[in-house]
Structure 1
Amino acid sequence: MNIAFWIVAGLLALFYVYSGALKVARSRDRLRPMMAWVDRVPLPAVRALGTVEILGAAGLILPPLTGIAPRLAAAAAIGFVLLQAGAIPVHLTGGDRRIGLNIGLVVTAAVTAWLALAR
């Protein structure tokens, strides 16, 4: 279980660090080809979302790595489930109906939470 947690949590954290860094650093014009929804959301909210994603990725990795409050990794994973549960309606209400990635991230985050609690 421990190895499975590190693999799944590591991959999920890498995804969210990358995605969050893009949202924090790139302009709306450079985000638009990848994220059609950025035109419907204020840029400060996009930046805040990126910051939340980066902090959540740290929450997946750092607590179990340091041994300080390792249950926080499960909380971070549950936070990602909730984040994607909110992202799906945003995608569906706009013209962007591609939610396959969101569903995959919900499943991956739920598995990560389960593995974190089972450790």
Structure 2
Amino acid sequence: MNVVLWILQIVLAVAFLAAGAMKATKPKAELSGQMGWVDDFSAGGVKAIGVLEVLAAIGLVLPWALDVAPVLTPLAALGLVLMMVGAAVVHARRSETQMIVVNVVLGVLAAVVAVGRF
């Protein structure tokens, strides 16, 4: 089970690191062409979401790998579950059903990591 959890942690970390870095570094106008939902948020809100995703990606791997405060890993995973619930709500309001499926899959994977590491 440990190997499966590590694989999930790494896959989630890569996905959220890439997505979060993009949201944190690109201007809102550039992101709105790729992600319609950013029009519903302020530029600061989009950047904050990006920074939280980057921090969660780091939290999924480093604490457990370095054995320094390993409780932060399941907490980071739990934070991602909550972010995916919020993202699914935003996409549901915008009738973006394809994106809800992505949010549910990522949320379930993060929940598996959270439960497995707690």
State whether TM-score is above 0.5: yes
In 2, the alpha carbon distance for the partners of 1:65 and 1:31 equals: 33
For residue 24 of structure 1, give the secondary structure of its aligned residue in structure 2: helix
Q: Which amino acid aligns with 1:52?
A: L
Residue 103 of structure 1 corresponds to which residue in structure 2?
104
Alpha-carbon offset, residue 114 of structure 1 = 1.9
Alpha-carbon offset, residue 95 of structure 1 = 4.2
Size of the aligned set, in residue pairs, is 117
TM-score in terms of structure 1 length: 0.92
Gap runs ≥5 in structure 2: none
1:67-78 to 2 correspondences below 5 Å: 67-78=67-78
1:83-94 to 2 correspondences below 5 Å: 83-94=83-94
In 1, the alpha carbon distance for the partners of 2:27 and 2:72 equals: 32
In 2, the alpha carbon distance for the partners of 1:95 and 1:115 equals: 33
Residue 50 of structure 2 corresponds to which residue in structure 1?
50
1:1-119 to 2 correspondences below 5 Å: 1-98=1-98, 99-117=100-118
Q: Which amino acid aligns with 2:34?
A: M
Q: Deviations over 1:47-75 (max 9, x none)?
A: 01100000011111111111011121111
In 2, the alpha carbon distance for the partners of 1:100 and 1:115 equals: 22
Gap runs ≥5 in structure 1: none
In 2, the alpha carbon distance for the partners of 1:35 and 1:55 equals: 21
TM-score in terms of structure 2 length: 0.93
Per mean C-alpha deviation after superposition, the further-off stretch among 74-83 and 88-97 is 88-97
In 2, the alpha carbon distance for the partners of 1:36 and 1:83 equals: 17
Alpha-carbon offset, residue 34 of structure 1 = 2.8
